[in-house]
């Protein structure tokens, strides 16, 4: 996989990579998990950190300090993104700071109002002031109608032992509210545009070596002789080893070479399509267009395409590096054998 950049490999498969996760993003997601552990107060560590660093103050407005440990500074640094991934569910509001905790649609009252008068922001004022007998009563605190509406939509669950945070990042399916590393990672990571052809690479049941061969072909990264020459590698003979009639390039080897064309024509006949394209970018839409024939056909077509690509590449390498030659009928037999084996999976 040296032919593809590390940055490209470290993308999700649907976004053109092979699904590796960059360590920097793993580190960030782990730090966010730590911040979640801190606010959810489910451990002795979290309770100790609160009593050591937050004390009677508020975590969400606490300023970084030289006396803070590296771990706590890391937790503080992730407050902004953490705020976007959590939601408050109230029992009675007695554990939720009215002004500073981000309980109103992921924002705090201070975030919304900008500031509070000294009289309004009395130390330690809790949400229980406007939540009585399981009912929100924002009108008792002179909120605007719009803000009152948002407050009224904040969830209340009197059955809870206390007010609690639930894990609910945007875009993730609603679950139990418990932390999930996958959704945490998705919140942190860079996203890229979708790769429309990913399903032709990561087809279920397709052998890994074939997946990676098609992956490199779609990116134009297979090391054919023309590419090796362009890198300055001394190539004694630039001619295609399958037909000995034209310089070897990805375009020639896979879609213009007589040997390959014979193989692809046979696959088109078996699949019942007319794929007369001159590169894989032309053939893929033909297969995609046949999707209406059913999932089984669509899968078989993708498997046949990948197996053909891989066997052409294998035959090219065997001829160059081992001096072995398999006639087209033999290559077709090997393709059918592999396709049948993968169909059983």
Specify the residue, 34 or 253, whose C-beta has the smaller distance to Zn ion: 253
Specify the residue, 31 or 240, whose C-beta has the smaller distance to Zn ion: 240
Specify the residue, 34 or 240, whose C-beta has the smaller distance to Zn ion: 240
Q: Going by DSSP bridges, is the β-strand pair 86-89/135-136 parallel, antiparallel, or unpaired?
A: unpaired
Q: From the CB of 240, what's the least distance to Zn ion, in Å? A: 3
Q: From the CB of 262, what's the least distance to Zn ion, in Å? A: 11
Specify the residue, 242 or 335, whose C-beta has the smaller distance to Zn ion: 242
Rg of the chain taking only CA atoms, in angstroms: 30
Yes or no: say if 39 and 86 are a contact pair by the CB < 8 Å rule.
Answer: yes
Specify the residue, 28 or 315, whose C-beta has the smaller distance to Zn ion: 315
Total of residues contacting Zn ion (CB under 5 A): 4
> What's the residue count for the chain?
345
Q: Does 312 bind Zn ion (CB under 5 A)?
A: no
Q: From the CB of 260, what's the least distance to Zn ion, in Å? A: 7
Site string for Zn ion, 191-230 (x = CB under 5 A): ----------------------------------------
Specify the residue, 69 or 265, whose C-beta has the smaller distance to Zn ion: 265
2: its two tokens = 């040296």
Q: CA 333 → CA 33, 97, 329, distances in Å?
A: 52, 72, 6
CA–CA dist 167, 85 (Å, integer): 6
CA–CA dist 286, 284 (Å, integer): 5
Q: From the CB of 215, what's the least distance to Zn ion, in Å? A: 22
CA–CA dist 105, 88 (Å, integer): 8
CA atoms within 13 A on the CB side of 188: 22
CA atoms within 13 A on the CB side of 305: 30
Yes or no: say if 34 and 73 are a contact pair by the CB < 8 Å rule.
Answer: no
Q: What's 73-116 look like in SS3?
A: HHHHHCHHHHHCCEEEEECCCCCCECCCCCCECCECHHHHHCCC
238: its two tokens = 């630039």
Q: Footprint of Zn ion on residues 231-270 (CB under 5 A)? A: 240, 242-243, 257
Specify the residue, 76 or 240, whose C-beta has the smaller distance to Zn ion: 240
Specify the residue, 96 or 249, whose C-beta has the smaller distance to Zn ion: 249
- Secondary structure letter of residue 62 according to DSSP: P
Q: From the CB of 302, what's the least distance to Zn ion, in Å? A: 24
Site string for Zn ion, 263-302 (x = CB under 5 A): ----------------------------------------
Q: From the CB of 4, what's the least distance to Zn ion, in Å? A: 25
Q: From the CB of 225, what's the least distance to Zn ion, in Å? A: 11
Q: From the CB of 273, what's the least distance to Zn ion, in Å? A: 23
Number of Cβ within a 10 Å radius of residue 77: 15
Q: Which residues bind Zn ion (CB under 5 A)?
A: 240, 242-243, 257
């Amino acid at each position: 996989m040296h032919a593809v950049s590390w940055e490209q490999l470290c993308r999700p498969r649907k976004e053109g990579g092979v699904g590796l996760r960059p360590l920097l993003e793993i580190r960030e997601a782990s730090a966010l998990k730590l911040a979640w552990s801190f606010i959810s107060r489910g451990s002795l560590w979290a309770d100790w950190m609160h009593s050591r660093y937050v004390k009677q103050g508020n975590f969400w407005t606490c300023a970084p300090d030289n006396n803070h440990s590296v771990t706590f500074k890391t937790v503080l640094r992730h407050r902004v993104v953490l705020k976007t991934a959590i939601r408050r569910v109230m029992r009675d509001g007695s554990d939720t700071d009215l002004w500073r905790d981000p309980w109103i649609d992921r924002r705090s009252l201070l975030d919304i109002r900008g500031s509070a008068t000294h009289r309004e922001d009395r130390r330690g004022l809790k949400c229980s002031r406007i939540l009585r007998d399981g009912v929100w009563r924002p009108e008792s605190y002179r909120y605007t109608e719009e803000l009152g509406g948002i407050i009224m939509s904040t969830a209340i669950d009197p059955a809870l032992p206390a007010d609690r945070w639930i894990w609910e990042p945007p875009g993730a399916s609603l679950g139990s509210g418990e932390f999930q590393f996958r959704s945490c990672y998705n919140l942190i990571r860079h996203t890229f545009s979708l790769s429309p052809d990913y399903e032709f690479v990561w087809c279920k049941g397709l052998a890994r070596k074939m997946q990676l061969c098609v992956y490199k072909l779609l990116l134009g990264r297979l090391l054919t002789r023309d590419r090796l020459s362009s890198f300055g590698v001394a190539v004694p003979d630039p001619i295609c080893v399958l037909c000995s009639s034209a310089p070897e390039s990805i375009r020639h080897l896979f879609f213009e070479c007589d040997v390959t064309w014979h193989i692809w024509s046979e696959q088109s006949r078996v699949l019942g399509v007319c794929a007369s394209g001159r590169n894989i970018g032309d053939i893929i839409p033909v297969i995609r267009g046949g999707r209406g024939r059913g999932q089984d056909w669509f899968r078989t077509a993708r498997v046949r395409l990948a197996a053909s690509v891989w066997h052409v590449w294998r035959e090219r390498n065997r001829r160059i590096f081992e001096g072995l030659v398999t006639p087209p009928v033999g290559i077709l037999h090997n393709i059918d054998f592999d396709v049948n084996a993968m169909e059983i999976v």
